[in-house]
A and B are shown apart, each in its own frame.
Chain A
Amino acid sequence: MELNQSLNKKFLLIDDFSNVRKSVKGMLNSLGVSHVSEASNGTEATKSVRDQTFDVILCDYNLGKSKNGSQLLEEWRTRGWLSYQTVFVMITAETSRDFVMGALEFQPDDYLAKPFAMDTLQNRLDRWLDRQSALGPINQALDRKDYPALAKAAREVMETKPRYRGWAQRKYVEALFHQGQMTEAAHFLQALLDKRDLPWARLERHRIDVQEGKLEAAERGLKTLIMLQPNMVEAYDLLADVQMQIKQPEKAQETLSQALVRSPRNIARQRVFAGLASDNGDHVAATRAYKEIVSLADGTMHESSRGYKDVLRSTRTQLQSLDDDALKRRLQKDAQSLLKKLIKQYPDEPDTELFSKAYRAYLADAGDAESTDRVFLESVAEAAREHMGDLGEDSALDIVDILYEKGLSKEADALVEELRQYHKESGNFVKRLNQLQAEPITQEARRHAHKVNTEGIELYKHKDYQAATKLFEDALKFSPRHPGIILNFVQSSLLLMGQTRVSLSQLDRCLDIVNRLNYLPADHYQYERYTSIRDKVIALHAKVKHEQPS
């Protein structure tokens, strides 16, 4: 270590243990570093980072109850509080290194495994300071978000400093992307790849493929890349994006779930996954992911009322297709406690106020007498109509849905009418409103379906398949997507055909109806029954079709 190089450098040391800070500071002092600031938690560290500029920040990953090192880095980078000229080093316990490394969205400049010896620190110190001075112009351009300057500085480093060539190449591509120079970027990446296989360059080239609409090529290439480099989570993100574009949402969900196994702490990815799962009708997975987001966001810059609302919404949807009472009660209890937190933490948001009132009425907690009164929900409907400007689209749909579900169809229709007027510019939203109005499943309808279904099961037990099938069909009119009723109907129809005669048209109908359950997740308790019945229908259908050529 050249003493004069480190003498004037400013260091910030972040660790929640004062004896650790003391020992590292001692090491730094003896290596000639005299400016060492200390912080024992995220708040102190953030204040220091905003007040002054450091050359090197040594940050322990685990900061006790405070935000962890990676959450701090994310917040500082996102908010522009941390200069790229500052070297950010994450200190991790050696054994947790795999867990922390790689999967982070905001990568530190280096990792240091603790405990570390003086020799190691000295060695790294040289490395950091050398790098900082060699890459100065690149980092300055990054700070200014000046992409032409970034491209120029990166080129210069590529040509004159072979040591940092690989790093500069990435920054060069980043600069081209930001300037929309895709053709240049594609050529540059191809030239690199012709020389040797570089996983990051492959990924970026496929990113260009996707932009240019070469979806098939991108899909194939990304699958290969994932096979070779299974920890490269950004490749999964891009592949899922491609799969959504080619209308394979189930595959996209599966791809993202694999990325989440490798990197579960990424909120943005969890959110995309939850949305996909929800669209795919996999409400169990969606609710789980939304809950994960709330717990990951706790205490970070991502904390917002939105996270709570997403979980509550997803839970409500899950409850609609559930007939296991114990599980239902558990979900309801979870939802009630989340709702209380939402109300307590976000008392001043108008949208949240309307949203939480509607959910109070929906969950009808016995301890919340006010909310179980019909008058209460009527007042929510009225307040929603008066404050449409404060109401987000999702919350508006929630309120409409809850009104229908609780049998306040008149109030719901009136609210829909006004919302349609108010949002007439937003075609997508109006479409969702119309759908909701066309197929409202009220609690009453569900109760009715349940009753008819139970009667059908009695008849089925007495082997009266004809009457049972008829009742199941009736129940389906009230609750068309209910797994239990669908499977009862199909099973009973098959037995009926066994007793009487097999008809291709009835089999067609069975096939259509059983296919409504495509959304069923593999861990649903009816899943095995569903696949076994579905396979029977498919096999029988194929056989009959073969015997009766048209």
Chain B
Amino acid sequence: MSNPVDMHTIMAATVHDVKNALSLIDNELREVIDSIHEREPDSTLKLNRLRLEAGRINNDLVHMLGLYRMNTDTFRPDFDEVLIEDVIHDATSRYQQTLESLGIHLGIELEDSDIAWVIDPVLIEGVLANILTNSIRYTKDRLDFRAFMADGGLCITLTDNGEGYPAKMMNFMSETPNQGELSFQNGSTGLGLYFCQQIAQLHRQGDAEGYIKLTNHPEHGGAVFTLWLP
């Protein structure tokens, strides 16, 4: 496959096809859940986990295609000034039902609900959805999105109350990541974070460049994902 355009078409078509199938699966699962959730809470929980996994496959596909496009220089961001509240809601609303059934409380807190920022809304929604679906697996029973202004930029954090990030992962992010150093030990997590980092870096204003950061909460030790955009 020496022709990059051909490879791109094949990948895009495959991703398109699999995403369609996933969306069908997700829809059917939702209908089954609706019809059995009162009678069979245990099965409902299992089905909700399945929905979550379907969502993760979906995210992985998006990453794969996105990274491929970045490498072949055909990745085209679209910047626009949008309401951050809308972006966070769009990233989270489809997981509302799953979160409830798993007994996880999702909090969304904006310093100012009118914050509008120049971003690529589709890409940032993808980053937030990606982090959310990951955090659902590791948190105990809380997830909190916060958006506020910091260092002249916009800061969005997602905090959970689980065990926190392992030291290895936080180190991975502290170096300048490039693909060669990528560790796939955590399944797709490394790839997902790498993708998020690339998306953040596409956001520039003057000399400043967006970034992501992984830390643990100083008090309860839960994982804190930070996205900063200039």
Contacts and interface: CB of A to CB of B under 8 A. Distances in A.
A93 B20 contact: yes
A117 B94 contact: yes
B97 A95 contact: no
Interface in B67-87: 76-83, 86
Nearest to B230: A196
Contacts of B163: none
B97 A117 contact: yes
Contacts of B16: 95
A40 interface: no
A229 B79 contact: yes
A166 B114 contact: no
B114 A163 contact: yes
Interface stretch (A119-127, A139-147, A179-187, A420-428): A119-127
Contacts of A199: 79-80
Contact of A117 (B80, B82, B89, B93): B93
A231 B78 contact: yes
Interface residues of B, number: 27
Interface string A6-33: 0000000000000000000000000000
B89 A123 contact: yes
B190 to A, nearest CB: 26
B35 interface: no
A120 B89 CA distance: 8
Contacts of B23: 93-95, 115
Nearest to B85: A163
B20 A95 contact: yes
Contact of B76 (A165, A166, A230): A230
Contacts of A127: 86
A119 B79 CA distance: 27
Given A95-B20, A115-B23, A120 B94 contact: yes
Contacts of A166: 81-82, 116
Contacts of A197: 118, 205
Interface string A155-184: 000000011011000000000000000000
A66 B180 CA distance: 51
Interface in A311-332: none
9 contacts: A93-B23, A94-B23, A117-B93, A120-B93, A127-B86, A197-B205, A198-B81, A198-B118, A230-B76
Given A123-B89, A197-B205, A231-B78, 15 more contacts: A93-B20, A93-B23, A94-B23, A95-B16, A95-B19, A95-B20, A115-B23, A117-B30, A117-B94, A120-B94, A163-B83, A163-B113, A198-B81, A200-B80, A228-B79
Closest 7 CB pairs between A and B? A119-B96, A166-B81, A162-B114, A163-B114, A120-B93, A119-B93, A115-B27
Interface of A: 93-95, 102, 115-117, 119-120, 123, 127, 162-163, 165-166, 196-200, 228-232
